[in-house]
Structure 1
Amino acid sequence: MPDRRSKLTGKQKAAILMIALGTDVSAHIMKQFTEQEIEDMTLEISNARKIDSDTKTQIIDEFFQTAVAQDYIAQGGIGYAKQVLEKALGSDEANKVIQRLTSTLQVKPFDFMRKSDPQQILNFIQNEHPQTIALVLSYLEPDQAGAVLSALPVELQVQVARRIAQMDRTSPETIAQVERILEKKVSSSSVTEDYTQTGGITSIVSVLNGVDRTTERNILEKLEQQNPDLAEEIKKRMFVFEDIIILDDRAIQRVIRESENEDLILAMRTASDEVKDLLFKNMSDRMAASFKEELNYMGPVRLHDVEEAQTRIVNTVRKLEDAGELVIARGNGDDVIV
């Protein structure tokens, strides 16, 4: 049977499917659409002329295969879906279905690893080159990546953290090559078609927020020796002023006592209502009333001054944490207050 689907756009296929499903089912589906989607689909359906039965059958079959593949991905990831589809459809057709799906879903590389236990991931990658480990960790969930990073040897932790922080964009060919190497150990995954933003400061900050405090301190200390500017940039983003909301009341009261009143007032100038309310809650009634009055009558201030005040308060938080006088909740839940 000749394949007529290749000449059709995605919208045309959707219109044919809607026609094939009938008015009742199509009406129910269109209730989930946006106004623009309804307009587009109505236009495509109205432009659809005579559709031969072979084309209709092929479109329905493609939809069914895609729906089944999505269900398999939800159950066990792309690797699992590919294995099942290969048994049912053969290798070529299974690859077509997976490629169709992943281009639509924009599935991230190493998706199969995000469904694995951190210890399993560690076993897969611990003997790989630091750059390879950095690439994989930059695609994992922060908690997963933090747990894996914590379990690596100390020197390797620093190498990997630095590489994640300094990583920019990675070509699909490089990602595909790494995936092929790991395919021998775990299920294969797919890659996005365009260059993918990988790693960077934001990525390593997310990872370090998921590691234990000892690992974080060790990595930052070593980075300070190797690349002071990079270490400083990472530390600036590790805990920001708005993160005060994750501290308990006793910790916030300690931070208020250790901070200058002028810094607190300036810092609150751009703070969210949630942060302000939490700080007011942990002040005396007299202090809270005084701060509210100051904020109400405060004239224009430079954003730079506000940010510097917030940085000084964040530094106070980190000093108290280093001294063991307060605990910042970590992503892996290893911090225990005794």
Structure 2
Amino acid sequence: MQLTGSQRCAVFLLAMGEEVAADMLGNMQRQEVARIAGAMARLPHVPEREVRAILREARIFLETQADGICADRALAGRLLEHCLGEREARETMREWGPEEPARPFESLERMRPGQLYQLLRQEHPQTLALVLGHLSASRAAGLLMRLPTDMRSLLLEHIGGLAPVDADILDEVDSVLARQAAERSAQDWRPGLQMAAEIVAAAGKEEGRALLADLERHDSRLPSLLGRMVHCPEDCLKLEDGLLEEALEEMSGEALAGVLSTCGPAVRAALLEHVPEVRHPAIERRLRSGEPSTGQAAAYREDFLRCVRQLQAERMQADLDAAKAAGRRAGA
């Protein structure tokens, strides 16, 4: 992707955030500010690999911009006003032309696949297909992999047959889902399976076995499910369906280096195979610069395993929900 110097600068400032961007633009000449803000307002979508390349050139590696950078007209306007004043900012913004309409379901694009699943798991398949068909491929795939196998096939059939949808219908569905997402964001929800797994893990090795043995005597399904939960980084290497990659992607370089510092060479190399190569140089630099304290490394390790267990629980919960729904249909 070929970007101009102004566009590359705009990517950098968008990645750094408004406060840093305002400080940096405040030290530039007015003509430069107008040119960069204009590029920021009209920026095409810049994929993750390009964002990382730009930041790497500046000797900065940013792990939080998982889906690249898009234009931010509002931020560009505020930065212009901060640097040029309200009147001159308004005149400069007129040159940008009319604002492009927002893409449908933009608020959902910023959600993790697990969060999306919790929001959409009870929606009608046609609604799910409509949403999936308008999300980015990576977000749609992350959500699809949490659904039962037969549901995945059904949804792909629906998506393959999607016809153009009226903009008003898209806006209405988007508005309802955005409101539901906002309501959910205020809740600290964790899958029940994850909560049970954390309790068993916290009880200790022997006590945890005793708890699972008691459950088995009551013909519970929990022992078999909880037995699949990871307890160390080595366990994560057995995961399937991209779950390990998703967990590693959510970690900052510092946290990931802290986790790797607690692993032996073989496990460290195996985990790095699931990390995009573009991240390897920054992680290896962190590892060479010195290991974190024992307590900090242990905290990073536990946070990582907790994240993996949550992703596991979300997927297992999807299977349980599907089984319950199938049972209800069979009994109807």
TM-score clears 0.5: no
Give the TM-score, by structure 2 length. Answer: 0.30
Give the TM-score, by structure 1 length. Answer: 0.30
* Bigger Rg over Cα: 1
